[in-house]
Amino acid sequence: MSLIDTVIPAGEPWIGTIRRGQILRIVDLEGNQAVDTLFYNALDTAEHYSAQNTIQAQRGIYLTTGTVLMTNRGRPLLEIGEDTCGRHDTLGGACSAESNTVRYALEKRHMHNCRDSFLLALTRHDDETGPRLTKRDLPSNINFFMNVPVTPAGGLRFADGISAAGRYVELRALMDVLVLISNCPQLNNPCNAFNPTPVRVITRESA
């Protein structure tokens, strides 16, 4: 499997596969960009990242160095290594036409959103060797670099970002992994500082 080094333009999706042992680095090129991400077992996509199992395994809701991302079958999927941002969200989910309508205004329905971006990437992917992934295959996602603080009373807030230009997070694949990213196009809340920007995705072999 060849190594990857690509820039995902602002608001665009991306899909790719990394082999077990490879390290994936996601770089927030210009800062304060939310990167909605899902991971699947590349050999059996019915197995995928599980927010619940990951939170339960590490007894915490934020992701950073040392976090092992768990699958819906309770198996380790990837481990977070170097992380120069320091916190990533497990709870905020992906924006959608529906959430834009409910949270902001009816006129926001047509706007680009992560759920549609995920589906667009899956349609383009069209892996003839495996089952086609559809809406039903989109579980709760990770929001890399996104700041969603939880209040003592249990409330959620989409807050201004804590990332900055050039910050990155690295993940080591513990199995062959299909990576699905929506570089969030959201313009209605501060998850992108109201200004979506490109991110870079790089893989390398672990030393």
Q: Which residues bind Zn ion (CB under 5 A)?
A: 95, 114, 184, 186
Cα separation values, 95 from 27, 34, 40, 116, 191, Å: 21, 11, 20, 9, 11
Question: d(Cα 149, Cα 133) in Å, to the nearest integer?
Answer: 31
- Minimum distance of Zn ion from residue 113's CB (angstroms): 6
The residue (of 130 and 198) whose beta carbon lies closer to Zn ion is 198
Question: d(Cα 34, Cα 145) in Å, to the nearest integer?
Answer: 5
Question: d(Cα 138, Cα 185) in Å, to the nearest integer?
Answer: 18
The residue (of 36 and 47) whose beta carbon lies closer to Zn ion is 36
Cα separation values, 74 from 47, 52, 71, 88, 156, Å: 9, 10, 5, 20, 26
The residue (of 15 and 70) whose beta carbon lies closer to Zn ion is 15
The residue (of 23 and 95) whose beta carbon lies closer to Zn ion is 95
- Minimum distance of Zn ion from residue 77's CB (angstroms): 22
The pair phi, psi for residue 106, each rounded to 5°, is -55, -35
